[in-house]
Amino acid sequence: MLDRTVESCSIGVAFGQSSFTDLDFADDVSLLAELLELLVTILKTTASEVASLGLEVNWQKTKVQALDCREDMPLTIKVQGQDVMVAEMFVYLGSLIHSSTGSTCDISRQSAITRAGMQSLENQIWRSRLAILTKLKLYNMCILPIFIIPVWFGLLGNI
């Protein structure tokens, strides 16, 4: 269904020599287009395609995001008579996607998650009678991966 939809609308975003039309994970789909008007067209086509299968688009969960957006971007757009929210940011697969296209917001979010995790373990582990070696192993195995990996990939995204 998605293949027919993206083929019929000729949408996509070019990154270097490659072109991408959509990102899929389980039942989540991100449709990509260079213009907001093209996204409206693809959303209409998607709604028609899924209707032919007896399904419908959940318009309350559907969001649109314009990257590096202008000040005059509307708060909602109309698609088949439905209001679709234009989101400044949203979480997709654990990462905060912000319309500024930078990774600063996601790094701040990941840091806050790590900080909250460390604080929740304050009395249970860090101030417990566990051996210091055990505490270090727990820190290296459970805390560092939460913080270091997202920050590392976030920094690579800004290079």
For the stretch 14-17, contacts whose Cβ atoms lie closer than 8 Å and that sit 24 or more positions apart, written own/partner, are: none
- Partner residues linked to 18 by β-bridges: 15
Residue spans of the domains in the chain: they are 2-88, 102-158
In whole angstroms, what is the distance from residue 89 CA to residue 156 CA?
20
Output the pLDDT for position 41: 84
Report the percent of the chain where pLDDT is more than 70.
80
Burial of 42 (0-12, 13-18, 19+ CB in 10 A): buried
Read off the pLDDT of residues 61-120 as tens digits, 9 standing for 90 and up.
888 887 766 677 788 888 889 998 888 888 877 888 888 877 888 888 888 887 887 788
Instruction: State the amino acid at position 11 in one-letter form.
Output: I
Output the pLDDT for position 134: 92
Q: Give the closest residue to 109 by CA, choosing from 91, 93, 122.
A: 91
Where do the H-state alpha helices sit in 53-143? 104-120, 132-138
Read off the pLDDT of residues 107-138 as tens digits, 9 standing for 90 and up.
888 888 878 877 888 878 888 899 999 989 98
Q: Is the pLDDT of residue 159 over 50?
A: no
- Partner residues linked to 13 by β-bridges: 20
Q: Is the pLDDT of residue 18 over 80?
A: no
